[in-house]
Amino acid sequence: MARSVLADAGFLVALLSRGDAHHSWAVGRASQFPPPWTSAESVLSEAFYLLGQAGRAPLAKLIERRALILGFSLGKHIEPVLKLLQKY
């Protein structure tokens, strides 16, 4: 059974930035949990910003080859999120 992985901006930045302090960790996790990875629009926005010009092409490549897919959109899932937040 394939594992479902939710990728956050920290993972994506570390994976694509060799100079990142957590690059080795991210590469290890990427091989342990191979793509596709699920993410959200806000994560992509943050990752694109943090990676800057040099990291945009590699991140776009992950999306292009479907290694990174958008599995969550707040606009489409707002009701369940609001119900969850009301519990707290």
Residues 27-72 pLDDT 10s: 999 999 999 999 988 899 999 999 999 888 999 999 999 999 988 7
Asked whether 80 and 88 are in contact (CB, 8 A), the reply is: no
Specify if 52 maps to a domain. yes
Specify if 4 maps to a domain. no
Specify if 1 maps to a domain. no
Q: How many domains is the chain partitioned into structurally?
A: 1
pLDDT for the residue numbered 71: 81
Cα–Cα separations (whole angstroms), residue 27 to 20, 47, 80: 11, 16, 33
Range of the domain at 65: 9-86
Specify if 61 maps to a domain. yes
Q: How many CB atoms lie within 10 A of CB 16?
A: 21
